[in-house]
Amino acid sequence: MDYPVFAQLLGNFGFPIAVTLFLLVKLEKKMEHLESAIHTLSKAVTAIKAKERR
């Protein structure tokens, strides 16, 4: 592959790939916090249901 073709491909696709990777890394922590909050909420709902059955 010629250098100009490679440079053009990198210019066309390199930036979107870099932005995507950056966003995935940044959002990973937020997704982990969201997952934790969902598990906590699920436990709370289960506990409320258990109290209602008594």
On the question of pLDDT at 1 being above 70, the answer is no
Q: What is the pLDDT of residues 4-54, one digit of tens each?
A: 876 787 788 888 887 888 888 889 989 999 999 999 999 999 999 999 987
C-alpha distance from residue 5 to each of 2, 9, 19, 41 (Å): 5, 6, 22, 52
